[in-house]
Structure 1
Amino acid sequence: MALHSAASTSERVSFNTLNRKTGNRVKREYVDIKTWKVVEREDQIKGYEVDDGRYVLFEPDELAAAVPQSDKTLRIQSYVPFTEIDDLYFDKPYYLLPDRLGEETFVLIRDAMRESKVGALGQAVLFRRLRTVLIRAHGDGLIATTLNFDYQVRSATEAFADIPKLKIEGEMLDIAKHIVKSKTALFDPRTFDDRYDAALAELVKAKMEGRTVKVKQRPKVERSTNLMEALRMSAGFGSARASKPRTAAAAARAAPVPRPAAARKKAG
């Protein structure tokens, strides 16, 4: 089977670093931090720091010996229900395609996993590391997602340890549930915008057309410190003294548009 990356960043706007004075591209070089002389590639060697300024050195062939042996085979170890796998472990997705001689086996495994609602855990050497992958049926093919190693995933218990134990009830919870209900929709990745990349593309276009790029000052936005008031505003209920809209549609129409603090002061 063949593995093809399912995600790519090639469409992003990218830049080169240039010499401001000459307009020529610059390149990175490794320099000795004490002599500040350039170290050529043949004189570079990998080292592991064991103490402050003390290193264990490794030749390229020594490091290569640590790379797992690979016959480019993806070996299935077990089949597990989807609910057994925490998506914190998900890393990078790949499309898994059949080779010409294995199409029947490919389809058989795909359909069996789909009907059984399980995924396959397998191992393969990818980029010099033995990686565990989760294989799942996806459309007419299979998706193989590399999984993070256990030591790479931080403990959720430790990460959330400082969150206070609170129990929210009453009107605040009702308003929060209303917000969730009114914003509930189907998952559609086509609606996601990379606003930064789009802004960069527009910036490049403006420069190419010779237009002057104006640097915008970011307005300061006042933030409410009153949780109930903030919830009411988010839900479109207006202030605490205002009457509640009768429907979610009315709530959406009544939702105020946040304005910068300066604009509010001027209006007042």
Structure 2
Amino acid sequence: MAARRPYWKGYLKLSLVTCPVDLTPATSESEKVRFHTLNKQTGHRVVSRYVDSVTGKPVTEENEAKGYVRGENDYVLLTDEELESVSLDTVRTIDIETFVPRESIEWIYLDTPHYMVPNDKIGNEAFAVIREAMKAEGVVGVSRVVIGRRERAIVLEPRGNGIVVWTLRFGDEVRPEAAYFQDIDKKAEAKTVASIQKMIKPRTENWSPSMVTDPIQESLLKLIASKKKATKKTAPVKGKKEGDTQPSNVINIMDALKRSVQADLKGRKRSD
């Protein structure tokens, strides 16, 4: 297992009890297959550059600035120095001031999970005391923290020996369900419901992470492995001068992927 790399380092505080902690994202997409954009004629990578939308000329890094839209083609410019000067108490401290029952927070407000752990042995005891007290009361802590220059509302949920920290969506980010569900027919015939229940029962199992494997990811890895073997068998062309047409090793991977997925699906249907 790779060494844990903290995403955020700071302090957890409850009244006079304080301990140093780390936050690490609880989920990761680093294992997902990623693609680069290539020039099909040369096989070289294509790079992106910032250009002025009016002059079309490239903009150097030192001339880039953040802008807040004030009107059409009108912006308030903010420099990095000005943004850094905005100091928030929550930059390095998670101060728990409120507790709520866990079930009182609707799932739709939960955004991104992080694992919180003490980052030194001295803080272990204070961390454990806060964790166990929340468990005993059946509550989660509500606080705020600055991540990526943005202050986020969070909840702290004791889990096993650690604490799971969920960033929360703000109220104006959650659309009310009533606006979408109000016109749906509320009635359902009892006989029909009973029939569906009979279908549900034999399909009910205990949850397992294997239920959410990514078939496209698996097909991609198989496809890439086969293309690697095919590329190794192709001997490099030597003696070509600059300007000569080069044979392209660039693969139309989307077409190949579609064929691979279709073959995989046909195989599954035959095995059913």
Matched, 1:109 2:139: no
Equivalent residues, number: 221
Letter in 2 for 1:51: G
How far apart are 1:51 and its partner, in Å? Answer: 2.4
CA distance in 2: counterparts of 1:20 and 1:67, whole angstroms? 48
Residue 144 in structure 1 maps to residue 165 in structure 2: yes
2:180 to 134, 159, 180: 159
Contact 2:223 2:257 in 1 (8 A): no
Q: Distance in 1 between matches of 2:102 and 2:187?
A: 31
Q: Hey, what does 1:28 align to over in structure 2?
A: 48
Tell me if structure 2 keeps the 8 A contact 1:46–1:59.
yes
Structure 2 stretches of 5 or more lacking a match? 1-20, 232-250, 263-267
Q: Please state how far the C-alpha of 1:215 moved relative to its aligned partner.
A: 4.8
What does 1:124-135 align with in structure 2 at a 5 Å threshold?
A: 124-135=145-156
Distance in 1 (alpha carbons) for counterparts of 2:109 and 2:134: 20
Check 1:109–1:70 CA distance in 2 against 1; reply closer, same or farther (3 A cut): closer
Instruction: Provide the identity percentage.
Output: 32
Match of 1:52 among 62, 67, 72: 72
Decide whether the 8 Å contact of 1:92 with 1:145 is kept in 2. yes
Unaligned runs of 5+ in 1: 220-256, 260-268
C-alpha distance in 1 between matches for 2:257 and 2:140: 52
1:92, distance to aligned residue in structure 2 (A): 1.1
The letter of the residue matching 2:101 is P
Task: Establish whether residue 13 from structure 1 lines up as the match of residue 19 from structure 2.
Answer: no
Aligned to 1:81: 101
After superposition, give the CA deviation of every residue in 1:175-216 in whole Å (9 maximum; x if it has no partner).
Answer: 222222222111111332111211211221121121894853
2:203 to 183, 188, 196: 183
**Contact persistence 1:74–1:122 (CA under 8 A):** yes
CA offsets, 1:132-163, max 9 Å, x none?
221112112111111111111111122324x3
What is the CA–CA distance in structure 1 between the aligned matches of 2:114 and 2:261, rounded to whole Å? 39
In 2, Cα distance between equivalents of 1:189 and 1:214:
25
1:197-249 Cα deviation digits (max 9, x unpaired): 11211221121121894853998xxxxxxxxxxxxxxxxxxxxxxxxxxxxxx
Alignment of 1:147-226 (within 5 A): 147-161=168-182, 163-210=183-230, 213=256, 215-216=258-259
Aligned partners of 1:141, 1:129: CA distance in 2, in Å?
A: 25
Q: TM-score, normalised by structure 1?
A: 0.74
How does the TM-score come out when normalised to structure 2? 0.73
Distance 1:141 1:217, change over 3 A: closer
- Distance, in Å, in 1 between the alignment partners of 2:180 and 2:190 is 28
Judged with a 3 Å threshold, the aligned counterparts in structure 2 of structure 1 residues 44 and 81 are, in CA distance, closer, same or farther, namely same
> d(CA) in 1 for partners of 2:32 and 2:194?
41
User: Is the Cα contact below 8 Å between 2:90 and 2:144 reproduced in 1?
Assistant: no
- Aligned-partner Cα distance in 2 for 1:13–1:217: 15
Tell whether the 8 Å contact from 1:133 to 1:146 is kept in structure 2 after alignment: yes
Which residue in 1 is equivalent to 2:22? 2
Alpha-carbon separation, structure 1, partners of 2:257 and 2:169: 43
Q: How far apart in 1 are the matches of 2:68 and 2:47? A: 26
Tell me if structure 2 keeps the 8 A contact 1:79–1:119: yes
Q: Quote how far apart the aligned CAs of 1:71 are.
A: 5.4
> Per residue, is there more strand in 1 or in 2?
2
Amino acid corresponding to residue 31 of structure 1 in structure 2 = V
Would the aligned equivalents of 1:67 and 1:129 in 2 still touch at CA under 8 Å?
Answer: no
Using the TM superposition, give the Cα deviation of residue 169 of structure 1 relative to its aligned residue in structure 2, in angstroms: 0.8
What per-residue deviation string (whole Å, max 9, x for no partner) do you get for residues 1-60 of structure 1? 111111111111111222222222221101122322211212222222232222222222
Change (3 A) 1:184 1:93: same
Question: Would you say the 8 A contact 2:91–2:147 is kept in 1?
Answer: no
